[in-house]
């Protein structure tokens, strides 16, 4: 009896192992198949873009939209013949919005998927965690992050941020407007990691330059889920409350802010990050009426909407209120995701400029030098957010910022900064680093 039983168990284990083997083999074959098929059809080998995506973790709502925008832009690029006659293929790996996994994903891109470039990261701690590995692997790495870490020179020559402006530029361009229109005594609420620290450091400095002062700094851990307990630290003398929040708790944050203040509130200036992917018409957000937001790109279609914004909106599947065309409750991360679109077209431009052919050291060097030689991106279909000036020394773009006011439950742009408002002295020069 027992013998029979153990024999049965053995055979089960063996068959399990066997079927496991079959599955693994099939998986490997499936991975190989597309490439093999392409060769068979005689078309060019694709340019592989490894997209480091926040599909899960605290950046998931951004990730969902970064993916949609990327796919829409890549479709246009491929429909128009690809890059240097080769189609573009996007390979997605989820980093869980986690810096440690971010570095592993970069490694996987370089060694397993053998991609041409890595791209698409938003959260600054993931960028900072992944960049050193990208540099060591000599893998060009294009981020869409807003953090000042690229421009600060603390990363390496392989990391670029051409499609979106950085926090330092954003806050110095808006500080004069805030101090002139809202007040000079500011209290700041920000997430307690690299991105929030950029806000803390550069906005504090910028408002001081305008003759203002920061009364209190209130850092909040990015995984926090309850915020009321932080609000008593807002001094009564505060004229402007400056808030920027990220993660799954953003809606709770603004709701609790409303409960705390009611109608008796100071002026409020927020980064739209505090409300990205959240519908402005959500109950209890009425108190935001009359407050101001920074927007990287206006969520609601404005009266002076350009044809480029119209085209872009349609292609990424977003309606005039910034929500998904297929689900009005699915609000986009409109203020950030244009960066993916623009970055992809910049990559195409640089690859065509350098005559990029494949994953050789010379081709990669050529791509990086071509990137560093770029200086202006004119507003157009490829750059629907507006014109940008690119500084090749610090691998960073500079552009317009939008200040919008909540009026009648929508965001209306009331002020647009000039590109010059956001320029600052470069703090580094990546072009001097060896390749």
Catalog residues that contact another protein under the rule CB under 8 A: 55-57, 60-61, 63-64, 221, 224-226, 228-232, 236, 248-249, 251-252, 256, 259-262, 277, 282-284
Nearest to 179 by CA among 261, 264, 239: 239
Q: Terminus-to-terminus CA distance in the chain, angstroms?
A: 70
Q: Which is nearer to another protein, 174 or 257 (CB)?
A: 257
Query: Quick one: 76 or 251, whose CB is closer to another protein?
Result: 251
Smallest separation, CB 39 to another protein (Å): 35
Residue 274 and residue 71: Cα distance in Å, rounded?
Answer: 26
In the complex, the smallest distance separating the C-beta of residue 57 from another protein, rounded to whole angstroms, is 7
d(CA 204, CA 210): 10
Closest approach of another protein to the CB of residue 301, in Å:
24
State the nearest-atom distance from the C-beta of 192 to another protein, in Å. 9
User: Least separation, in Å, of the C-beta of 229 and another protein?
Assistant: 4
- The residue among 380 and 409 lying less far from another protein, judged by its C-beta, is 409
Nearer residue to another protein within complex by CB, 228 or 376? 228
CA 53 – CA 63 distance, rounded (Å): 6
In angstroms, rounded to a whole number, what is the distance separating the alpha carbons of residues 239 and 318?
Answer: 36
Question: Which residues neighbour 397 within 8 Å (Cβ) at sequence distance 6 or greater?
Answer: 161, 162, 163, 164, 165, 377, 388, 389, 390, 391
Closest to another protein by CB, 190 vs 377, is 190
Q: Rounded CA gap, 24 and 247, in Å? A: 36
Query: What value does the CA radius of gyration of the chain take, rounded to a whole number of Å?
Result: 24
Shortest Cβ distance from residue 200 to another protein (Å)?
Answer: 16
Q: What values do phi and psi take at 310, rounded to 5? A: -60, -45
Q: Kindly state the smallest distance separating residue 92's Cβ from another protein, in Å.
A: 14
Q: Which residue has the tokens 């920000």?
A: 190
Q: Cα–Cα distance between 419 and 417 in angstroms, integer? A: 7
CB of 59: closest distance to another protein in angstroms? Answer: 9
| Least Cβ distance, residue 61 to another protein (angstroms) | 5
> Which helix (H) or strand (E) covers residue 207, if one does?
helix 204-209
Which C-beta is closer to another protein: that of 259 or that of 360? Answer: 259
Token pair of 330, please?
């699915």
* Rounded-to-integer distance, Cα 275 and Cα 104, Å: 30
Greatest C-alpha distance within the chain = 89
Q: Looking at residue 187, what DSSP letter applies?
A: E
Closer to another protein by Cβ: residue 61 or 321: 61
CA dist 116 and 47 (Å) reads 6
- Smaller CB separation from another protein, 71 or 251: 251
Nearer to another protein, 185 or 260 (CB): 260
Closer to another protein by CB, 41 or 229: give it: 229
C-alpha closest to that of 94 among 133, 68, 67, 114: 67
Minimum separation from the CB atom of position 190 to another protein (A) = 15
Alpha carbons 23 and 202: distance in angstroms, whole number: 53
Closest CA to 97 of 66, 141, 60: 60
């Amino acid at each position: 009896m027992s013998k029979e039983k153990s024999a049965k168990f053995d055979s089960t284990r063996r068959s399990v192992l066997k079927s496991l083997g079959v599955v693994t083999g099939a998986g490997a074959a499936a991975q190989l198949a597309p490439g093999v098929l392409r060769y068979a059809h005689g078309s060019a080998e694709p340019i592989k873009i490894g997209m480091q995506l926040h599909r899960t973790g605290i950046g998931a709502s951004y990730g969902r939209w970064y993916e949609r925008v990327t796919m829409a832009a890549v479709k246009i690029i491929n429909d128009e013949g690809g890059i240097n006659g080769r189609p573009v293929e996007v390979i997605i790996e989820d980093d869980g919005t986690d810096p440690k996994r971010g570095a592993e994903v970069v490694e996987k891109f370089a060694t397993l998927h053998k991609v041409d470039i890595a791209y698409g990261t938003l959260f600054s701690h993931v960028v900072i965690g992944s960049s050193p590995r990208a540099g060591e692997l000599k893998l060009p790495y294009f981020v869409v992050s807003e953090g000042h870490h690229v421009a600060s020179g603390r990363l390496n020559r392989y990391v670029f941020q051409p499609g979106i402006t950085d926090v330092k530029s954003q806050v110095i361009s808006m500080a004069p407007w805030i101090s002139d229109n809202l007040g000079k005594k500011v209290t700041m609420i920000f997430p307690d990691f690299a991105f929030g620290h950029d806000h803390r450091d550069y906005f504090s400095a910028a408002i001081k330059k305008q003759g203002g002062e920061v009364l209190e700094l209130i850092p909040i851990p990015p995984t926090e889920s309850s915020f009321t307990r932080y609000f008593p630290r807002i001094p009564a003398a505060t004229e402007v409350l400056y808030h920027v929040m990220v993660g799954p708790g953003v809606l709770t944050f603004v709701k609790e802010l409303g409960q705390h203040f009611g109608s008796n509130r100071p002026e409020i200036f927020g980064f739209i990050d505090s409300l990205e992917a959240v519908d402005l018409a959500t109950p209890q957000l009425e108190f935001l009426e009359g407050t101001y937001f920074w927007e990287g790109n206006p969520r609601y279609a404005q009266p002076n909407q350009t044809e480029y914004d119209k085209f872009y909106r349609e292609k990424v599947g977003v309606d005039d209120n910034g929500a998904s065309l297929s689900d009005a409750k699915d609000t986009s991360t409109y203020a950030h995701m244009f960066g993916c679109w623009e970055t992809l077209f910049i990559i195409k431009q640089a690859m065509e400029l350098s005559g990029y052919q494949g994953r050789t050291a010379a081709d990669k060097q050529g791509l990086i030098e071509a990137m560093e030689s770029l200086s202006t991106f004119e507003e157009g279909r490829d750059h629907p957010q507006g014109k940008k000036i690119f500084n090749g020394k610090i691998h960073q773009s500079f552009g317009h910022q939008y200040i919008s006011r909540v009026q009648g439950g929508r965001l209306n742009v009331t002020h647009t900064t000039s590109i010059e408002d956001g320029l600052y002295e470069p703090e580094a020069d990546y072009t001097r680093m060896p390749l």
